Amino acid sequence: MRLSRSRAPGSIPGRPIKFKYPNKISKKMTLIEPKSMDECVYFTNRVLDKVKIRCWVFREKCPKCGKGLMSKPKDPKTGKIQIRAKEFKCPECNYTLPEQEYEDTLTANIQYTCQYCSHNGEIQVPFKRRKVQIVDGVELKKKTIESLRFQCQKCGKNIDITKKMK
C-alpha cells in the first residue's frame, strides 16, 4: 500500500483532516498594514545598524457618530489640513476632541527587529509617548525626549521610537 504525502497517516480520503490542537497551529500575529497614508495618524520607518522599526497608527472612528474618521481640521480657504492644530475633528458631525485626549485612545502597530537579540516581531501597544532620558551621542549629555517605548517579546529589553529631533 502506497501512502500519499498530501494526507495525514491514518486519514480517510475524501474526509477533512481534524487537528488535535487547532488553536496551536499558528500563533504568529499578523498586523494589518495601511494601504495609504490617509489612513494613518502616525507612520515611521526607521532603519539603524541592526534595528529596523516600522510603526503606524490608524485613525479611529468618531466616538459620537461612529461614521467618520477623526482627522485634523482643514483650512477653509486652501482646503489643506492644519498640521499644527491642537484638536481632531470629525468631518461628518463636526465633533472635536483635544489632541492629547484623542491620541490616548489610539493603538500603535509595530514591526521590529531587536537590536539586542535580532528577534523579528510584531506588537501592538497603546500610542502614548512618555518622557525618556537618553545620552546624546554627539555632546555626551543627558537629554529628555518624548518616546514611544515597548519591550522586545524575546529578550524583554526596552526599544524606543523617539520623535525626530531638530
Instruction: Judge whether 129 lies within some domain.
Output: no
Residue 75 located in a structural domain: yes
> Could you tell me if residue 91 is inside a domain?
yes
User: What is the pLDDT, as a whole number, of residue 132?
Assistant: 86
pLDDT at 26: 39
- Between 140 and 36, residue with greater pLDDT: 36
Q: What is the pLDDT of residue 23?
A: 43
**Per-residue cell: 142:** 543627558
Question: Does 94 fall in a domain?
Answer: yes
Whether the CB-CB separation of 93 and 148 falls below 8 Å is answered with no
| pLDDT given for residue 31 in this prediction | 84
Structural domains of the chain, count: 1
- Collapse the DSSP code of 103 into the 3-class scheme (helix H, G, I; strand E, B; otherwise coil) and give the result: helix
What end-to-end distance do the CA atoms of the chain give, in Å?
72
- Looking at per-residue pLDDT, the higher value among 130 and 23 belongs to 130
Residue 87 located in a structural domain: yes
pLDDT of amino acid 50: 80
In a domain, 83, yes or no: yes
Q: Please indicate, yes or no, if residue 92 is contained in any of the structural domains.
A: yes
pLDDT of residue 29: 61
Q: Give the dihedral of Cα atoms 89, 95, 96, 97; nearest 10 deg.
A: -110
pLDDT tens, residue by residue, 63-82: 888 888 899 998 889 989 88
Average confidence (pLDDT) over 31-49 = 88
- pTM: predicted TM-score of the whole model, two decimal places: 0.73
Residue 125 has pLDDT above 50, yes or no: yes
In a domain, 82, yes or no: yes
| Backbone phi and psi for residue 100, each to the nearest 5 degrees, phi listed first | -65, -40
Question: What own/partner pairs with CB < 8 Å and gap ≥ 24 does 43-52 have?
Answer: 44/161, 46/161, 48/115, 49/115, 50/113, 50/115, 50/118, 51/112, 51/113, 51/114, 51/115, 51/159, 52/111, 52/112, 52/113
pLDDT at 107 over 70: yes
Q: Residues 164, 147: contact at Cβ < 8 Å?
A: no
Mean pLDDT over 25-42 rounds to 76
Domain limits for position 72? 64-101
